[in-house]
Structure 1
Amino acid sequence: MVMKDSKCSKPLSADNSHLRSLLLFAKSNTGVGVGTIGRVSRQRTLDLACVCEKFKLLRVLDIIGIKTSSSTIPIEIGSLIHLRYLRVRSTNIRELPKSIGKLDKLLTLDYWDVSAHNNEIKVPNVLWKLERLRHLFLPGDLTSNTMEDLKLDSLKDLQTLWGVKGGNWMLKEMEKLSSTLTKLCIQGISSLEQLEAVFNSPVIKTNDNLYALALDWYGLYSFSLVPCLDMLSSKDKLKKLKLMGRAPDKSIPLKFPSSLRKLELHFTQLEKQGTMDALGKLPNLQFLGLAKDSYLGNEWICRENAFPKLEELKLSNLPKLKIWEMKMGTMSCLKKLSITSCASLERLPKELKSTSTLEILEIARMPTDFNSRLRKVKAWDKTSVGGEDFHIVQHIPNIGIRDSCTPLLF
């Protein structure tokens, strides 16, 4: 284990009781700090109770990749009454103590990236006591009791609510969420009523400061979300949007806010070319991810000068996409293109040959014929011969093509 002052990055001893900031992270045998549960499990455990007792003046405590014997944070955490920032990530810590409610100066509680290993994560019903809290990150594997007791109406200065799990708490608490909220992520929304509570809440209906929104309602099938999603088109400060769930556009194309810089769609089952055209007209979009049946059309035609600022495009698990065409001037700023598991896609658009900004092309789990057309291979006389479509990509500095069971090679 390594204990470091986050300002000077030097190893510490217990004599440094005056510390204001402390970073705790696991260290591998190679001397590199690790942040994943798989590697942390091989590390020694750390007595966090001792840390809390020795460094009572802490304002910042950052715990990354630490393993504890009890899989909890000790009750002694409540003695750190000056704490403003607490982050617990990539750990085996599955439970927070009630004493965390004593940290009334806390501004940020980041407990998002936690692996439960099939055990639910427990957070006591004391978060409402942290009235100064501005940023709250929670994991999606919280126990049902935690979700039912979740109360956030006292957090008037809350700006970030990220990773919280959907549940019936939303029916009574969404309308009470702070109007100062700018970042919202809710996972596992399991009913139409819960989803409607989100869109009818002040966070979306009247809040004009929303910056980032991520919603996961995967598993709901029997309704159309077009009217609800159209509410977002007027949010002129919304920069990042991630939607995971059915939002079929069978009647009218979907609308998106022109302010978007990053858009990720999963399971949306879009079909209309009109919706895809609307995406291409977004003037500020820099990242677009279409994944897991987000688009069900077998043809995607990018109109002239579409996606004027797009720098990264990711296409994955779009089994019906067969033809992809780009008109003149499309994606003129594209730097990175990734295509994964789009089994029906016949070939890359020939217009990519004119995209001089493209620096990285990653191809993974695509049919052998598709890959072969892009590769440069040795002929029988030891000369290099490009595949049928190699001329389209030969100007790209970094090309990685990975077959089903091989590593990505550049």
Structure 2
Amino acid sequence: MRYGDLIHLRYLSLNKSNIDELPEIVSNLRNLQTLNVKWSKFQALPSGILNLVQLRHIKMLKHWGVAGVIVPAGIGGLKNLQTLTGLYAGDGIASELGKLTQLRKLGIMDFTENLVNEVCLSIMKMKGLTSLSLQAKSCYPEATLPSIEQFTPPPLLQKLCLEGTLEKLPSWFSLMGNLNKLRLGFFRLPEDPALVLQFLPNLKHLTLWHAHDSKQMGKEFCSAGRFPKLEVLVFASFVLEEWTELEEGALPSLKHLHMHSCLKLRMLPEGLQHVTTLRKLTLIPLLDDHAERLKPDRGEESYKIQHIPEIEVMTTSMVQEEFIARTDE
């Protein structure tokens, strides 16, 4: 059976497939509403996709060796689109995005300086946008995210992902009162972004992935009563050594604390024992000697975490053993 024979098909997923080209015959799928090619090897979508006027969701995401997916000129004519992710916005596509006023979720990759003005102008026309992702070109391990200081976030924005180094946090961050999920990746900010983020009233899920390079973090990360609704905190840093203190009353709603890739971390904060809402603690990897200090009963830091029902730990030696075992297979 060929794709073109499936004229009543509404959902097509080629997620994680080895196909590197979508055949033009897909243009016969006139009732298609969702096209999912995430983690596939597509570098471009064919022009025939413009015939699929019922499309509501185009889900794309980079594969190894593939950056933002190229879409055909005229994509702005798909007026029913609500989701468009994994997108390369160059070659005039950035200005076309302004025609997609029904978009609820937008993800742009290879975001460069020459695209800033057109992308920002287009996004500000999307009054119903609730999810936005902007990734610098080849953001891992490091690439610069262009300045978006002049940007005004859509009023209903709930989820935001920004990837790439940035000199300072844009001033409009404090305006995002509806934001509930935020990821800052590879920002390398000189100042702790939490000094601003802790005042966001509805933030529930925060990922700071190598967002701030500092050897020590103290009680200024979160004052008492701040991050009022935060339930999940994911923190990754290759340089952090100590998180010294949490004020009593800080992180009053936190349920899951995940410290990931904190390869030098040797101290959890004094005051963590007062975050009584915590239900899960993840430490991957954890220095072997720090693991000893956190052991129940005899560990000198065990009192900080003994109230947490679920604790997930993988020590550095465990990581090394697993790596060796996999290489020997």
TM-score under structure 2 length normalisation: 0.84
RCO comparison, higher one (Cα < 8 Å, 6+): 2
Alignment partner of 2:93: what SS? helix
- Answer whether contact 1:265 1:290 (CA < 8 A) is retained: yes
Q: Secondary structure at the match of 1:147?
A: coil
Render the CA deviation track for 1:168-222: whole Å, top value 9, x for unaligned: 34345334x4111110012232x21123332121xx2232211111111125438
User: Which of these residues, 383, 388, 401, is aligned with residue 313 of structure 2?
Assistant: 401
Instruction: State the partner residue of 1:123.
Output: 45
1:109-120 equivalences in 2 (<5 Å): 109-114=35-40, 116=41
Q: The residue matched to 2:235 in structure 1 has which SS? A: strand
1:105 is matched with which residue: 31, 34, 37? 31
Q: Structure 1's 314 and 342: CA in aligned 2 closer, same or farther, altered over 3 A? A: same
SS of 2:293 mapped into structure 1: helix
The CA distance in 1 between the partners of 2:301 and 2:256, in whole Å, is: 18
CA distance in 1, matches of 2:242, 2:171: 23
Secondary structure at the residue paired with 2:290? helix
Partner of 1:200: 121
Query: Separation in 2 of the partners of 1:145 and 1:270?
Result: 25
Unaligned runs of 5+ in 1: 1-48, 50-75, 377-384
Number of equivalenced pairs: 312
Tell me the equivalent position of 1:157: 80
Q: Residue 213 of structure 2 aligns with which residue?
A: 296
Partner amino acid, structure 2, of 1:135:
H
Partner of 1:330: 250
Hey, what does 2:174 align to over in structure 1?
255
Q: What does 1:91-102 correspond to in 2, within 5 Å?
A: 91-102=17-28
Cα RMSD of the aligned pairs, angstroms, is 2.8
Contact kept? 1:140, 1:188, Cα under 8 Å:
no
2:234 is matched with: 314
Moved more, 104-113 or 120-129: 120-129
Among all aligned residue pairs of Structure 1 and Structure 2, give the percentage whose two residues are the same amino acid: 29
Matches within 5 A, 1:6-405: 49=1, 76-114=2-40, 116=41, 121=43, 123-141=45-63, 147=70, 149-175=72-98, 177-189=99-111, 191-201=112-122, 204-217=123-136, 218=139, 220-221=143-144, 224-228=147-151, 231-232=152-153, 235-249=154-168, 254-255=173-174, 257-273=176-192, 275-292=193-210, 294-297=211-214, 298-300=216-218, 301=220, 302-320=222-240, 322-376=242-296, 385-405=297-317
Kindly indicate whether the alpha-carbon contact (under 8 Å) linking 2:135 and 2:145 is maintained by their aligned counterparts in 1: no
Asked if 1 retains the 8 angstrom alpha-carbon contact of 2:165 and 2:188, the reply is yes
* In structure 2, distance between residues paired with 1:225 and 1:387: 47
User: Structure 1's 247 and 123: CA in aligned 2 closer, same or farther, altered over 3 A?
Assistant: same
Q: 2: distance between equivalents of 1:350 and 1:211?
A: 37
Letter in 1 for 2:149: V
Which letter does structure 1 place at the counterpart of 2:271?
E
Judging changes above 3 Å, is the alpha-carbon distance between structure 1 residues 314 and 148 closer, same or farther for their aligned structure 2 residues?
Answer: closer
Structure 2: unaligned runs, 5 residues or longer? 321-329
Partners of 2:238 and 2:31 lie apart in 1 by 47
For residues 61-92 of structure 1, what are the alpha-carbon distances to aligned partners after superposition, in whole Å with 9 as ceiling and x for unaligned? Answer: xxxxxxxxxxxxxxx21121112222222333
Normalized against structure 1, the TM-score is what? 0.69
Q: Which residue of 2 aligns with 1:16?
A: none
The answer (yes or no) to whether the contact 2:62–2:68 under 8 Å persists in 1 is: no
Residues 369, 225 of structure 1: CA spacing in aligned structure 2 closer, same or farther, 3 A cutoff?
farther
